[in-house]
Amino acid sequence: MGEASFASRLNYAMALRHMKQIDFVHAAAAANVKLGKSHVSQYASGKTTPRPDIMRFLADTLGVREDWLAGGDAPMERAEQAGDAGVPAVRTSESDGLNPMETERKTITEPKGQAMRRFTKSTKLDNVLYDVRGPVVDEAARMEATGTHVLKLNIGNPAPFGFRTPDEVIYDMAHQLPECEGYSASKGLFSARKAIMQYSQLKNLPNVSIEDIYTGNGVSELINLSMSALLDNGDEVLIPSPDYPLWTACVNLAGGTAVHYLCDEQAEWYPDIDDMRVKITDRTKAIVVINPNNPTGALYPREVLQQIVDLAREHQLMIFSDEIYDRLVMDGMQHISIASLAPDLFCVTFSGLSKSHMIAGYRVGWMVLSGNKNVARDYIEGINMLTNMRICSNVPAQSIVQTALGGHQSVNDYIIPGGRIYEQRDYIYNALNSIPGVTAVKPKAAFYIFPKLDVKKFNISDDEQFALDLLHDERILITRGGGFNWHEPDHFRIVYLPRIEVLKDATDKLADFLSYYRQ
């Protein structure tokens, strides 16, 4: 072939060996090498060049010389393969090309004639997805490591964008640290749980006592715990599409099956009740509601919530309600907790301080059991068991719950006209809708927007590739719609926490990118 690029040599060798991109992914998993399908796609398309260790792995898998694959003026075949280009080499000693550490490991752990035992990840992870911190984020990190600045619009983390924790919260935590050195009760500090109970009363959650309050290291831990305590293999849980992907991941990891009901973009992203109804089976145990919604920013009105309650009542289902953004509601609208409409049903409501008090890193969340707890006594026993096993949640963070939930709520200053979140929401909504081929529903809460792409105009069939291409061309990191279990490659999520001047630069770059982009 002579001199050629790495990508052309990679594709040539793949064709010669009758290999596909997925073969590298499988080989990497077997060898405990971190390599995803998107990475291989980038290499094959010539968009990126692998690190030296990955280059070595690719060469080993193809059975070619590493210096040839990298584009150097060297023979393709290794010496031991001359005359047999169709058989990849099997290296057995340092002289064959393994580094000394690999040779030592092989000598110690792999007796002659005996295959080395490989440790692979659990098959329970096969259906687990969390692209908010997935392959595209890995590629962004690789780019940053080489000195490239990346604008991160992929994760709802207020602190990097200048949102500060209220001074009173920081002061109170510092003041109480000496009293937070030991474990708390498994469910949490009395003061924290009492404040959460009173907050729940203000939200009209029925039949809630202090024993129904559980603190956690963020809502994420409690979602995992609540699903693990509930599900047997094959049990089904209805989850919105698009969803916050941790819900689907935790259901699948617990052995259950996540069944996605559609949210309707043409109806303000409200749940499609008819779709929800037809997906209920005799294996369905619960309905998950994410309100306000991540990733769409939708806020569900009372009539929609009532329809969900009626459906749950008809089929005797539990309701799990993720309400972490309930204090980030705009346009004078009111958040309604679905549990307040269901005193006769068993409900679990989740919330926390990460978003409303700009303390995502403190990791403090809670869940509240309400309604008819008699039908869930055995389940509650399971929750208590898992709660005790993890001992307790972060005690210093618990110590400021009472302070945070009382007094002036500084977040209210952000969500009114003139406030940062409100103004940034309006800007991103108008800017996205002004780009040809892009439409978006205006969010009513949280700090996310979930725009739609005209897939015919841009010829998009792979939303992960779209996210990678945008990252490479414009240094903007977003999360693809498929990362939220959306069924089409036509959406992506933007976090609009950056200031307007940053969002303007980002949307200008996005508009320029889409003016020429065709997949």
Q: Is the Cβ–Cβ distance between 339 and 319 less than 8 Å?
A: yes
433 with 294, same domain: the answer is no
> How many CB atoms sit inside 10 A of residue 144's CB?
14
Instruction: Tell me whether residue 1 is in a domain.
Output: no
57 with 188, same domain: the answer is no
Instruction: Tell me whether residue 88 is in a domain.
Output: no
293 with 228, same domain: the answer is yes
pLDDT score for 72: 82
pLDDT score for 112: 62
CA distance 137 to 145: 12
Measure Cα distances from 189 to 146, 197, 206, 216, 249 in Å.
Answer: 45, 12, 22, 11, 29
146 with 179, same domain: the answer is no
**What one-character DSSP code corresponds to residue 36?**
-
449 with 317, same domain: the answer is no
- Of all helices (H) and strands (E), which one includes residue 286? strand 284-290
> How many CB atoms sit inside 10 A of residue 124's CB?
11
401 with 502, same domain: the answer is no
CA distance 460 to 469: 11
Instruction: Tell me whether residue 511 is in a domain.
Output: yes
Assign residue 446 the CATH number of its domain.
3.90.1150.10
> How many CB atoms sit inside 10 A of residue 381's CB?
10
348 with 485, same domain: the answer is no
Assign residue 24 the CATH number of its domain.
1.10.260.40
Number of domains into which the chain is organized: 3
422 with 350, same domain: the answer is no
Measure Cα distances from 34 to 45, 57, 100, 103, 120 in Å.
Answer: 19, 11, 21, 21, 12
pLDDT score for 133: 66
212 with 245, same domain: the answer is yes
Q: Of 51, 70, 89, which residue constitutes the final position of a domain?
A: 70
> How many CB atoms sit inside 10 A of residue 315's CB?
15
Assign residue 234 the CATH number of its domain.
3.40.640.10
Task: Provide the residue type at 343 as one letter.
Answer: P
442 with 478, same domain: the answer is yes
Instruction: Tell me whether residue 83 is in a domain.
Output: no
**What one-character DSSP code corresponds to residue 261?**
E
Which of 72, 9, 1, 2 has its CA nearest to residue 46? 9
- Convert 66-102 into a string of H (helix), E (strand) and C (coil): HHHHCCCCCCCECHHHCCCCCCCCCCCCHHHCCCHHH
What residues are paired with 236 via a beta bridge?
257, 284
Reading the chain (519 residues) residue by residue, the pLDDT tens digits are 444 688 888 888 888 888 888 888 888 888 888 888 778 877 888 778 888 889 999 999 999 988 888 888 878 877 655 444 444 443 333 334 444 334 444 444 555 666 778 888 788 777 776 766 678 888 898 889 989 999 999 888 888 888 888 888 888 989 988 888 899 999 999 999 999 999 999 999 999 999 999 999 999 999 999 999 999 999 999 999 999 999 999 999 999 999 999 999 999 999 999 999 999 999 999 999 999 999 999 999 999 999 999 999 999 999 999 999 999 999 999 999 999 999 999 999 999 999 988 888 889 999 999 999 999 999 999 999 999 999 999 999 999 999 989 888 888 999 999 999 999 999 999 999 999 999 999 999 999 999 999 999 999 999 999 999 999 999 999 999 999 999 999 999 999 999 999 999 999 999 999 999 998
Q: Which two tokens stand for residue 224?
A: 């995992």
pLDDT score for 79: 60
pLDDT score for 135: 81
Q: Of 388, 407, 426, which residue constitutes the final position of a domain?
A: 407
398 with 475, same domain: the answer is no
CA distance 416 to 93: 68
| Structural domain range at position 142 | 126-155+417-516
The pTM of this model reads 0.77
Torsion over CA of 466, 487, 36 and 293, rounded to 10 degrees?
90
Q: Count the helix, strand and coil residues of the chain and give each as a percent rounded to the nearest 5.
A: 45, 15, 40
Instruction: Tell me whether residue 259 is in a domain.
Output: yes
441 with 500, same domain: the answer is yes
